């Protein structure tokens, strides 16, 4: 790749970071709650309330929104059972599982290096 080219991940000229469509995919799967939802579903299919409990600190609104976004992108399958009380199961699709494995790998890498990063931060802060 020539030096003069922009970094766009699309190989198309004149497509900058802001308008690059793959950015939206990346943002959805690496979002604050997207990562945790994918990780939770990677282990097993879940109900809404299960997800809410397993992922600590997520509001109903954000969980619903995250699940809708991931469903719309084709990463999550939603199955509503017409029973009383309502029951909805969420699971990963084929591509969703690929995505989940990738972000999960990134998360595990972060976890493995968090000590070193914390040390680096302290060293950085302690230098005048």
Partner DNA sequence: CCGTATCCCTGACGATACTG
Partner DNA sequence: CAGTATCGTCAGGGATACGG
State the binding partner of 105 from DNA, a second copy, none, CB within 5 to 8 A by kind. a second copy
Of 20, 12, 23, nearest in space to 73 by CA: 23
What secondary structure does DSSP assign to 59-105, as a single string? -HHHHHHHHHHHHHTTSEEEEEE--SS-EEEEEE-HHHHHHHHHHHH
Residue 77 site contact among DNA, a second copy, none (CB < 5 to 8 Å, cut-off depends on kind)? none
**32 is an interface residue for DNA by CB under 7 A:** yes
Report d(CA 52, CA 96) in Å as an integer: 19
- Kindly state the tokens that stand for 47: 């109900």
> What residue 62 binds from DNA, a second copy, none (CB within 5 to 8 A, per partner kind)?
DNA
Residue 59: which of DNA, a second copy, none does it interact with, CB under 5 to 8 A by kind?
DNA
Closest by CA to 34, choosing from 79, 77, 78, 96, is: 96
- Site residues for a second copy, 63-82, by CB under 8 A, read 71-74
Q: Which of 107, 89, 82 is nearest to 31 (CA)?
A: 107
| CB 5, min distance to a second copy, A | 8
| Interacting residue ranges for a second copy, rule: CB under 8 A | 1, 3, 5-10, 16-18, 21-23, 25-27, 29-30, 32-33, 35-36, 39-40, 43-44, 54-58, 71-74, 95, 98-99, 102-103, 105-111, 113-114, 116-121, 124-125
């Amino acid at each position: 790749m020539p030096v003069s080219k922009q970094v766009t991940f699309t190989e198309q000229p004149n497509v900058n970071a802001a308008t690059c469509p793959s950015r939206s995919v990346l943002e959805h799967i690496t979002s604050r709650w997207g990562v945790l939802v994918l990780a939770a579903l990677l282990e097993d299919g879940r109900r809404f309330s299960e997800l809410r409990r397993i992922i600590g600190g997520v509001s109903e609104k954000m969980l619903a929104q995250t699940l809708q976004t991931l469903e719309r992108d084709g990463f999550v399958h939603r199955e509503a059972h017409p029973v009383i009380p309502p029951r909805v199961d969420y699971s990963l699709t084929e591509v969703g599982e690929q995505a989940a494995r990738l972000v999960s790998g990134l998360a595990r890498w972060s976890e493995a290096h968090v000590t070193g990063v914390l040390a680096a931060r302290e060293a950085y802060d302690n230098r005048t």
